[in-house]
Each structure stands twice: as structure tokens, then as C-alpha cells.
């Protein structure tokens, strides 16, 4: 069963699409659209983090007994990503396309490496460790809203 992997990986792709829309809008100097798309991207990303930090990680840590392992690394990477998102919000507010695009490039690398680690390693581990409860957990994560 890959319920957890499938659900959270699809969530990653959803965030990626919103990211690209916002970036394309900034590159086209369309600040109105950029603002809307960025807010949507930011909200989706933060919601994704909440799904992991409030539901997946605690369940994984409890089941496997590993609390200073991959989940700790993922939490600390979330902090870095949140901080970069804040920098992008500031750049949007001051309509500074160069700073926004530079940070967007940086964030994308940060985010996609982070996602790769989760998709290749953490989620498959979670699929295995939490197989008996995966369906319920996916519903719980889906029920969370911004």
C-alpha cells in the first residue's frame, strides 16, 4: 500500500504548480496575479507542512520510536522554507522582481530536494510502518484546512 506516499506526493505536485504560476506572473510583471497565486502557493505549502507536522510525523515517531531521525531533519527544513517564503512575501510587497525571482529559484531547489528526500525515503518508510492506519490518516490530513 502506498496511500500515504500517493496522497502527500500529489500534494507536493499541487504546490509546485501554484509555485510556477506565481513565478510566471512575476516574470510577466503581472503583480495582481502574482499576489493571488503566491498566496495560494504559500497557503498550500504551509497546509502541507501542518499535515506532516501534526499528523504524519507524530504517528511515525510513535510507531517507529525514531524521533531524532528523518522527521527531525524534515521539521528543520520546514523552518528554512518558511523563512524563505517570508522573504518572497516581502519582495512581492515591494514589487522587486529580481529579488523575488532569485528567492524563487532558491526556494525551488530547497523545496524539491526536501520533497525528494520525503518521496524517496520518508514516505515509503511511513507507508510500511503505518500501513494498518494509512487510510484513516489520509482522511485526517485531508480534513485539515488552512
Binding site for other proteins (CB under 8 A): 16-17, 19-21, 23-24, 27, 64, 66, 68-70, 73, 76, 80, 83-84, 86-87, 90, 98-99, 101-103, 105-106, 108-110, 112-113, 116-117, 120-122, 124-125
- Altogether, the residues listed in the chain come to a count of 146
CA distance 8 to 3: 9
Query: Cβ of residue 24: shortest distance to other proteins, in angstroms?
Result: 5
Q: Which is nearer to other proteins, 133 or 140 (CB)?
A: 133
Helices (H), the chain: 3-27, 31-51, 57-64, 70-93, 97-117, 123-129, 134-143
Select 46 or 108, whichever has its Cβ closest to other proteins.
Answer: 108
**How far, in Å, CA of 100 to CA of 23, rounded?**
8
All three cell numbers of 99: 529579488
Least distance from other proteins to the Cβ atom of residue 73, Å: 4
Q: Which is nearer to other proteins, 60 or 134 (CB)?
A: 60
To other proteins, the closest distance from the beta carbon of 11 in angstroms equals 15
Nearer Cβ to other proteins (98/132): 98
CB of 79 to other proteins, least distance (A): 11
Three cell numbers at 58?
A: 507524530
Q: How many CA atoms lie within 13 A of 51 on its CB side?
A: 24
Amino acid at each position: 500500500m502506498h496511500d500515504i506516499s500517493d496522497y502527500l506526493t500529489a500534494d507536493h505536485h499541487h504546490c509546485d504548480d501554484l509555485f510556477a504560476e506565481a513565478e510566471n506572473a512575476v516574470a510577466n510583471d503581472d503583480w495582481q496575479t502574482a499576489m493571488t497565486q503566491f498566496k495560494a502557493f504559500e497557503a498550500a505549502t504551509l497546509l502541507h507542512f501542518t499535515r506532516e507536522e501534526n499528523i504524519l510525523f507524530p504517528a511515525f515517531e510513535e510507531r517507529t520510536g525514531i524521533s531524532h531521525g528523518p522527521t527531525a531533519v524534515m521539521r528543520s527544513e520546514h523552518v528554512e522554507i518558511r523563512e524563505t517564503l517570508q522573504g518572497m512575501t516581502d519582495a512581492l510587497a515591494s514589487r522587486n522582481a529580481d529579488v523575488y525571482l532569485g528567492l524563487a529559484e532558491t526556494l525551488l531547489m530547497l523545496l524539491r530536494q526536501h520533497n525528494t528526500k520525503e518521496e524517496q525515503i520518508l514516505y515509503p518508510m511511513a507507508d510500511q510502518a503505518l500501513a494498518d492506519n494509512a487510510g484513516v490518516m489520509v482522511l485526517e490530513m485531508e480534513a485539515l484546512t488552512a
